Structure 1
């Protein structure tokens, strides 16, 4: 049986370790928040909603320009203050607003922003039979297949033989049944619209 005095010392050491660990976690969180830009009027943000039905996600997942009044206009919520907030704080604020209004039970908001000379974040729009449709932030070398994967992949009902890629006024049909198909590696451009039909 453990000596009661030793047991108390052991318990105290455990508590000190847990408090130190909590302190480090809070410090890391604070430093991560410190590196986030503060949003301002004129900024473009890419908002992605998940944890809701795909048709609802497609309504809200989009690129928004913060107005001169410092707000963005969201479906079901109307004007929401964005200027003066960090992206992570705005994410939580919007999630809480949707929950408080009892519109969604468990929404997850992801916001990304880019300040590359004011041109905003470059995105590709993925819609239809994908698990999280909406605006997908572009990255260097992104292909059509990568964009669909970034939208959490196709649903069980996706017709991958006839995926539509729209660029400007041109639309072409792609066969993406296999990842090694040349269509799958086709590079995307900002503003492209990819639709996966049923």
Structure 2
């Protein structure tokens, strides 16, 4: 009887030792949302990475500035955080990133948790939404404009389209909403802005 109690206590303690795999540490699954926070890098770099991400159907997560997806399925949040740190180090992007990951219960915040960025950017796809995310930060999260990227940006919000000017700082600092979509148009021979100031002002109110 005493031996059984000692064994049970020993097993319970082992479940909480680092590196011990047990039922106390459930792995991440496709469809789950995680909150990722990065430290150990410059403040403007933290804004590019810190945010809410979704584990894709493939079991992987796309993180900003990384060409390769980071495997998440089956990993604990702690293990995924270490994998993400390693990915940024291996890519030569950050030397000493410190990443923390938490699983968002109940699917996280209501509604879409990403903005879509496409057109003439280096990586088309979703960028994680966070509070005070700007147009410029979203484009940076997609790797920035490519060599063909023009000055005209199209913001699609709730079925309406707005034309922004990438050369205008106030346009680049417009705050985005969850579910917004940005398209960077290809530059033409004469790269003129196609929008109207009166329309853009409504976005700044």
TM-score normalized with structure 2 length: 0.45
The structure having more radius of gyration, on CA atoms, is 1
TM-score normalized with structure 1 length: 0.46
